[in-house]
Structure 1
Amino acid sequence: MEKSKLKEVLWKLTLPLRFLWEFHKGFELYYIQGIKWEEEELENIFALILFGDYIGLPHPPTELTYRLLPYVVRELYVMQEKSGKEVSLKTGWIGV
């Protein structure tokens, strides 16, 4: 009986600490999602700069594009995968 009473008291004493820990985890998850979104957007901008000539935007010199090409291989695979999908509101009218 004494052991269960002690556990109950410890449980109640640690409640504020557990609450703050879960609160912290929620904020951490929120900001990690924001950072991942920002990284994806920067990758999209990077690809747009390198391959903007496909849609009529001026592009950097060809030599610079070729030197940066190894860094966008994954982006090329993503663009290829999206271009084969059906047109919808989510993919947009150009299929990307």
Structure 2
Amino acid sequence: MGELLKEVFSKLKLPLTFLWEFHRGFELYYVQGIKWEEEELENIFALILFGDYVGLPNPPTDLSFRLLPHVVREIYVMQEKASKEVTFKTGWIGV
């Protein structure tokens, strides 16, 4: 009986390993896409709040002040990205 189980597990190991690695590859691909989209949404959020610096109409001042504590990290990110050269990964305006 033990020999039969070992034989069944040895035959199932290769296909299951293949499917598991295939799944992990897709998972990594989509996680990278989601991270990139999150960065772009952060860029758009910052552009909405600080759009008056580039000539876009800004939201009311009261709303900007209430949202300001939530964008402290974004301000540091914008400062870091401002020193890098513009590429596709750094956003559509490099912010």
Larger Rg: 1
TM-score (norm 2): 0.77
CA RMSD, 1 decimal: 2.6
Q: Using the alignment, how far apart are the partners of 1:61 and 1:52 within structure 2?
A: 12
**Greater relative contact order, per chain length (Cα 8 Å cut-off, separation 6+):** 2
Other-structure match for 2:43: 44
**Sequence identity, in percent?**
77
After superposition, residues 69-84 of structure 1 pair within 5 angstroms as 69-83=68-82
When the two structures are superposed, what TM-score results if normalisation uses the length of structure 1?
A: 0.76
Q: How far apart, in 2, do the equivalents of 1:57 and 1:46 lie? A: 13
Mapping for residues 1-96 of structure 1, pairs under 5 Å: 10-83=9-82, 85=83, 88-90=85-87, 96=95
**Which runs of no fewer than 5 residues in structure 2 stay unpaired?**
none
Kindly provide the CA deviation profile for residues 54-83 of structure 1, in whole angstroms up to 9, marking residues without a partner as x.
Answer: 000001000000000111111101122233
Higher mean Cα deviation, 21-30 or 8-17? 8-17
Residues 66 and 36 (structure 1), Cα distance of their counterparts in 2 relative to 1, 3 Å cut: same
The letter for the 1-side match of 2:80 is E
Aligned residues: 89
